[in-house]
Structure 1
Amino acid sequence: MQGDLRVDEALNFLLVGDLVGVAVFAASGASAAVAKRLDLFGVALVGFVAALGGGILRDLVIGAVPPLAFADWRYAVTAVLASIAVFWLHPQLNRLRRTVLLLDAAGLGLFTVTGTLKALDAGVPPVGACLIGMLTAIGGGLARDLLTGEIPVVLQRDIYAIVALGGAILVTIMREIGLSGPGPMALGAVLITGLRLLALYRRWSAPIAVP
């Protein structure tokens, strides 16, 4: 009985983490679309893709078909509602650039944790689960940047994918030593988010080739 409660608790944590990640990434995508002066449909579309692109990729890789983005209405509705909210409330959102970066960092942390955990639960070995966790986290942001005509952040010098990969490794290690409850995983998401924001603040970057 206690084991069943723990399973239910873990599943609820994954669901809540996923939906919160969907909301913040949708808001991030919608904010970027508003800054590009797209119409309501464009804002909703960019928000939807930014929120669910990484999760769709994750589910296809681990064989969870149809992906949750299509199988569970809560994902699509959360993404669209968050996008529409940003569209109507954007005059109150000062400094959209900073808002996008903050929401993106939060989404990175949440999706890294849930993506890695879902891969591990699907039986993917640790190394593969870390890569899937990273792809889950960066997939939506990559799609968002492409749709809004920006060079994807993950392809630039900003430490983005590296943070996601490091976070996925941290989540995997925590899982292996038994720290897999909502508390430790939430802490992991906060650490990933904080590291991404610190990298932005300190302007840390990966090396680039010198022409």
Structure 2
Amino acid sequence: MEGLFITAIDLTGTFAFAISGIRLASGKNIDWFGAYIIGLVTAIGGGTTRDLLLGVTPFWMLDGMYFLTTGIALLAALLFQDRIFRLAGTLFLFDAIGLGLFTVVGISKSLDAQLPFWVAIVMGTITGSVGGLIRDVLLNEVPLLLRRNIYALACVAGGLVYFLCTQLNLSTSVTELMAASVVILVRVVAEKFKIHLPVMSPVKDEDRNEPDKP
């Protein structure tokens, strides 16, 4: 039952991330197949990176449902484009949902591999954020991960909540739902109230040209 629950979260996250990728691709003069590829890369990029780091076969090589789910996301985008893409914040919403769900999947799979919890949090962050990073790079966008938005830190917050829930001996399903919800909530609250980390100040020209002092 627990494995089925994780699979359901994984496929829901795949759909959400695929939609976010396809939504962003729709403004780049990309054809349907290109949009599918962007959606697929967004959905599987983080998990693939995680599995390679864990030394296991990437998950999508063992189950074709991820390709099918991305296809369903593309079909939904084509059929309901006016309703989905014109909603304010659609890209942000689907990206936040995918981020939360994939973070939980990454943490769960890392713990199953008997890794320390801090490593599991790192793997959860990679699972949640790297797909969006690859998507943005392919579409020539500044990656969300590198902007001042609260992104990777939302994954870390969810990971800490996951750890706290395990210390309280809560059930796995409750733990995963709470952790995913915290990731999504942190993203939404940070965006709504414009909460962000301080931005690196640019180097002044006179400082850039000044020779190193002994």
TM-score by length of 2: 0.89
Contact 1:117/1:171, CA 8 A, preserved across alignment = no
**1:134-153 CA distance string (max 9 Å, x none):** 00000111111111110000
Question: How many percent identity over aligned positions?
Answer: 36
Contact 2:19/2:39, CA 8 A, preserved across alignment = yes
**1:72-130 CA distance string (max 9 Å, x none):** 11112112221232134212225356100000000111011111111011111111111
Letter paired with 2:47: G
Task: Give the root-mean-square deviation of aligned CA atoms.
Answer: 1.5
Letter paired with 1:24: A
State how far apart, in whole Å, the 2-side matches of 1:49 and 1:84 are: 17
Letter paired with 2:115: V
> Superposed, which structure 2 residues align to 1:1-211 within 5 Å?
9-65=1-57, 67-95=58-86, 98-211=89-202
Contact 2:23/2:85, CA 8 A, preserved across alignment = no
Are residues 176 and 58 of structure 1, via their aligned partners in 2, closer, same or farther at CA, if it must alter by over 3 Å? farther
SS at match of 1:49: helix
Letter paired with 1:84: L
Highest Rg: 1 or 2?
2
Extract unaligned runs of 5+ from structure 1.
Answer: 1-8
State how far apart, in whole Å, the 2-side matches of 1:56 and 1:97 are: 30
Q: How many residues align?
A: 202
Extract unaligned runs of 5+ from structure 2.
Answer: 203-214
Letter paired with 2:156: L
Contact 1:44/1:84, CA 8 A, preserved across alignment = no
**1:12-46 CA distance string (max 9 Å, x none):** 11111101000100011111111223110111000
